[in-house]
Structure 1
Amino acid sequence: MPTARRLAHEFLDRRGLTTIFGNPGSNELPFLAELPDHFRYVLGLHEGAVVGMADGYAQVTGRPALVNLHAAAGSGNAMGALTNAVHSRTPLVLTAGQQVRSAIGLEAMLANVGATQLMHPLVGWSGEPSCAQDVPRSLAQAVFEAELQRRPSYLSVPYDDWAAELDGTAAVTLDRTVHRGLTPSQAQLDDLAAQVAAARNPALVLGGDIDAAGLFGRAVALAEHLALPTWVAPSPHRLPFPNRHPLFRGVLPAGIAPVSAALTGHDLVLVLGAPVFRYHQHVPGEFLPAGTRLVQVTDDAGAAARAPMGEALVADPAPVIEALLTRVPGRTSAGGHAEIPEPKTGGKALHPEQVFAALRETQPDGTRYVVESTSTNSAWWRQMDLRHEGSYFFPAAGGLGFGLPAAVGVAMGSPDRPVVGVIGDGSANYGITALWTAAHYRVPVTFVILRNGVYGALRWFGELLGTPDVPGTEIPGLDFTAIAAGYGVPATTALDEDDLRTQLKTTPDGPQLIQVDTEPTTPE
């Protein structure tokens, strides 16, 4: 009779989950034994980095990614990184080992007591099989829950279950499929099209889900067809619209009053693939300007339910876009791309705009950027020219430690496009062990570390909150070239702008790190 392990491996194989990101402990070894030869195990040296790599990999491939974690302590280490995957709606399947069943109640070492509760409220589903016979079904549920909810799921499995021989009824799980469909009705599409057609001055707001769903090009077509001024929703983790397009109006600010001010003058705001809205700075005010109506289209029922204003349609944005393209008469739209301003220059060090201008001018068209440098957001959007889907990835929950690991995962999942990680020196330390994985697997990724010696975003918030004199905002003395060398990644320091451009033009067949000193800036 087949073992639970064999059935689990076969199910994962059939679902295409043959790449495992992990950092194993003793409880996980029985699951990892006898892996099929074509499975790939990607080792990370810390659970946070493991989840970050899987997050980037799943986002760029558009498929679920499998993560194998240790029990309570290891799973706990992963929770910071998990917050980003939750808010980017990344379908991660987290599996974790558990003590043998007879030792869980005794709270033996490495027992995960209350395992199903540990990851709440982050994961969309968590479970532990009721018995060994239930392992294949429970694993299938974890995979399907992640796919259906577009949210991480978590499965704890006692390690003595894996070698248990199961009867034939357990194998029926292998043939299961689960599909999701959220097509709006014709009446709903007619009503929405009528609202857009009747609007005097409509506007479009796009969220990261548009890029994640492969709708980047169709969103551009819609904006051009209806000549819609287009914003990106606040705090974007993906870029759903070319940022130099003449209809692009920028990224909406992350405060209630500033969002309302930005949308003033529009009688209808159509929001596709985004919450309304993910605020950050507490700037209270009216949610919308007087006379403005908002319609949100999202397949995230939770985002629709918790919104404080507007009308929501829980549906796949794809058929909505197609319906608006065919049912609403077109309007004249401008052509061309917006000009890019001259980069600001620094004094003692380069201004971040000089770094981003160098990236824009040296990197191939279609480069994927994984960005985790929050204090340079304003400089980034002033200088970059991103015209393709899947060009931008950012920590969706603002949890530090995403950038370095996610850049590794994006590069592993997308070998056909160059990948650059743009990481602040404060952020880099949270996921620094990802450098070892990049070196060990010779992942072709370029890391650009912006070293300014401070937590720039914290200083900015200190000014906003009237607390400019708090300790712990300076981090001098870091040398990422030495750290990278210790992990096996070739690293250099860019001495000036010309030197930076020269180094950025190199195309290594593995990872490389470029450290560049920059002047401190603020997000806005």
Structure 2
Amino acid sequence: MRTVRESVLDVLRTRGMTTVFGNPGSTELPMLKHFPEDFRYVLGLQEAVVVGMADGFALASGSTALVNLHTGPGTGNAMGAIINARANRTPMVVTAGQQVRAMLTMEALLANPQSTLLPQPAVKWAYEPPRPADVAPALARAAQIAETPPQGPVFVSLPMDDFDVVIDEAEDRAAQRTAARTVTHAAVPSAEAVRALAARLAGARSAVLVVGNDVDAGGAWEAVVDLADRTGLPVWSAPTEGRCAFPKSHPRYRGTLPPAIAPLARCLEGHDLVLVIGAPVFCYYPYVPGAYLPEGTELVQLTRDAEEAARAPVGDALVADLALTVRALLAELPERRTPDAAPRIERAVSYAETDGVLTPLAAMSAIAQGAPENTLWINESPSNLGQFHDATRISTPGSFLFTAGGGLGFGLAAAVGAQLGAPDRPVACVIGDGSTHYAVQALWTAAAYRIPVTFVVLSNQRYAILQWFAQVERAQGAPGLEIPGLDITSIATGYGVPAHRATGAGELTKLVRESALQQDGPVLIDVPVATELPSM
């Protein structure tokens, strides 16, 4: 006869979920007491940081993350980060403590009266086990749901008095059998569907590929590169690129499509067929109305997400495993000689200093020169994302993370989690000074656990991306877009992170290189940069 806690720990071991990201409260202590030595607890000082770290950990490691939050208030604090995790397609089990069952009806302090409603619709599934014996199998089911494509976070509310309850041997065995189940997700399209798609590609006058986050997440990177090489088609990244889906240095690569209807359609002019792989059609913002596609252009979407296929405003869709489908498609396509790729159009941005500070491209280039080749990059500097990609030219899978959810607070926390998830890789986080303060408490975790992340903060004392949106939306004069007076290095030092200020490109490269070579803990580098607003 064992307790619920003992059964739960074995379920988590079976699922490989022995790292817990959390910020404990009184309702979580019964789950955490007698914490076993083969588990690891990673403390975050605020719940959004906790979820952000778990997000980066899961994406970098390819495993399912486990989060432990403090009942309703902790879940509420974490909601923005959970929304980002949903957009990132991150497999994550989010747990939160709940008041003892005897006091739920009277809604005692820290009772969460609508525990399963609070995190919705940001989670795929929300559940509170009806009996203590159901806790362990509920967590096993939660892991399976989180890992089912499209992957994403799930939520389980755990009454605090359940963990010391003794369950019988049959109930325990049933929970362990549930945890040990394997579910393989490999939906293969019919041979007829593949042949039809191959015929459309072969018959197109001027086809084009558009690739998205799920190419990297779904293990289809090499297959998509082979498809581009075989067909000679140009390749665009879909808007809101949270992961690199194609080598930035490849001669067929054309850049990232703009995230607005009319400008995106203009980029596709001259093509009669658009094949979208692993991306929604399309993630638009801001609203710039127009035709979704140029006149006479057809579109086919290949996705693992049936809901994503259903909500697309144009085109046909094929719902199946990306890598298997692209490989099957290659087998149907004839070998053919492809003309030389057109040269990529380079971004016309100055490398020089402006008013005594580095331009964004100069800063990004200096950072890239100092970073090792196998760096795992985390970016949360949205106004300078184009310059970042121009400088880094990331060309290996699993090497770039950027939140696809649109909310800030991902970068610092995700970088800490990513280094824990991929400890054999150097991790560099390039982040704006505004973005830094959405989850600045992550610096404490990095220092306390001696996590060797290089944080590079691009400081322009404003929310530059919002200033760009203000121009696009004709909302000039909006307040709250300037953030003067921030002393990033003092804040980092206060959290225990060694900090430097770099004022020149050479100094910045040197600091990044030195930080990447050491393994003693995090380093923060503050870099004053000029403001350059994006263009579309």
TM-score category of the 2 structures, normalised to the smaller one: over 0.9
One-letter code aligned to 2:176? L
How much does 1:467 deviate? 1.7
Q: For 1:339 and 1:522, locate their aligned partners in 2 and report how far apart those are by CA, in whole Å.
A: 19
Is 1:508 the counterpart of 2:513? The answer is: no
Partner residue of 1:518?
Answer: 529
- How many angstroms apart in 1 are the aligned matches of 2:186 and 2:306? 13
Q: CA offsets, 1:16-55, max 9 Å, x none?
A: 0011111111101111123321111111001000111100
TM-score (norm. length: structure 2): 0.95
Paired residue for 1:13? 13
Residue identity matched to 1:102: A
Residue in 2 that maps onto 1:455: 463
Q: Is the 8 A contact 1:20 1:68 kept in 2?
A: yes
Whether 1:298 aligns to 2:306 is no
From 252, 257, 261, the equivalent of 1:252 is: 257
Q: Does 1:43 align with 2:36?
A: no
Task: Kindly report the root-mean-square deviation, in angstroms, between the aligned alpha carbons of the 2 structures.
Answer: 1.5
Q: Secondary structure at the match of 1:95?
A: strand
Distance 2:99 2:83 in 1: 26
Name the structure 2 match of 1:317: 322
Structure 1 counterpart of 2:175: 173
- Identical columns (%): 47
Letter in 2 for 1:397: G
TM-superposed CA distance for 1:220, in Å, is: 1.1
Q: How far did residue 281 of structure 1 move?
A: 0.9
Moved more, 350-359 or 169-178: 169-178
Deviations 1:417-457 (A, max 9, x none): 21100000000000100001101111111000000011101
1:198 pairs with one of 197, 203, 213: 203
Deviation at 1:331, TM superposition (A): 3.3
Q: Is the 8 A contact 1:245 1:338 kept in 2?
A: no
- Residue 268, structure 1, aligned to residue 273, structure 2: yes
- Distance in 1 (alpha carbons) for counterparts of 2:171 and 2:190: 38
Q: Are the counterparts in 1 of residues 367 and 508 from structure 2 also a CA contact under 8 Å?
A: no
1:308-349: CA deviation from partner (whole Å, max 9, x where unpaired): 111111111111110122110133344799697785323221
Distance 1:356 1:484 in 2: 21
**C-alpha distance in 2 between matches for 1:191 and 1:464:** 41
Match of 2:27 in 1: 27
Q: Tell me, which stretches of 5 or more residues in structure 1 are unaligned?
A: none
What SS does the corresponding residue of 1:134 show, helix, strand or coil? helix
The residue correspondences of 1:472-511 to structure 2 (distance < 5 A) are 472-506=480-514, 507-509=517-519, 510-511=521-522
Quick check: 1:97–1:157 contact (8 Å CA) kept in 2? yes
Offset of residue 187 of structure 1:
1.8
CA deviation after TM superposition for structure 1 residue 495, in Å: 2.2
In 2, the alpha carbon distance for the partners of 1:134 and 1:479 equals 50
1:218 CA displacement: 2.1
Separation in structure 2 between the aligned mates of residue 71 and residue 366 of structure 1, nearest angstrom: 39
Match in the other structure for 2:448? 440
8 Å CA contact 2:252–2:342 kept in 1: the answer is: no
- Map Cα deviations across residues 217-274 of structure 1 (whole Å, 9 max, x no partner): 2211111111110011111100111112110011011001111111111111111111
Partner residue of 1:384 out of 392, 397, 411:
392
Partner residue in 1 for 2:228: 223
- Counterpart residue type for residue 476 of structure 2: P
Conserved? CA contact 1:71–1:110, under 8 Å: yes
Alignment partner of 2:300: what SS? strand
Counterpart residue identity of residue 42, structure 1: V
**Residue aligning to 1:346:** 353
Alignment partner, residue 133 of structure 2? 133
Normalising to structure 1: TM-score of the pair? 0.97
2:99: which partner in 1? 99
| 1:155 match | 156
Tell me the SS of whatever aligns to 2:457. Answer: strand
Q: 1:335 to 1:276 in 2, by over 3 A?
A: closer
Counterpart CA distance in 2 for 1:337 and 1:13 is 51
Q: Secondary structure at the match of 1:522?
A: coil
| Aligned match of 1:395 | 403
Amino acid at match of 2:66: L
Letter in 1 for 2:336: R
Give me the whole-angstrom Cα distance separating, in 1, the residues matched to 2:27 and 2:162. Answer: 11
**Aligned equivalents of 1:335, 1:289: Cα separation in 2:** 23
Trace 1:407-422 onto structure 2 (pairs within 5 A).
407-422=415-430
The answer to whether the 8 Å contact 2:219/2:323 transfers is: no
Structure 1 residue 514: Cα displacement: 0.2
Question: Aligned runs of 1:98-117 on 2, under 5 Å?
Answer: 98-117=98-117
Instruction: Supply the AA of the counterpart residue of 2:96.
Output: A
**2:360–2:387: 8 Å Cα contact kept in structure 1?**
yes
| Structure 2 gaps, min length 5 | none
The yes-or-no answer on 1:368 pairing with 2:376 is: yes
Amino acid at match of 2:308: A
Q: Secondary structure at the match of 1:188?
A: helix
SS of match in other structure, 1:116? coil
Aligned to 2:4: 4
1:378, distance to aligned residue in structure 2 (A):
2.7
CA distance in 1: counterparts of 2:308 and 2:297, whole angstroms: 20
Whole-angstrom distance in 2 between the partners of 1:114 and 1:160: 18
Cα distance in structure 2, aligned partners of 1:170 and 1:289: 60
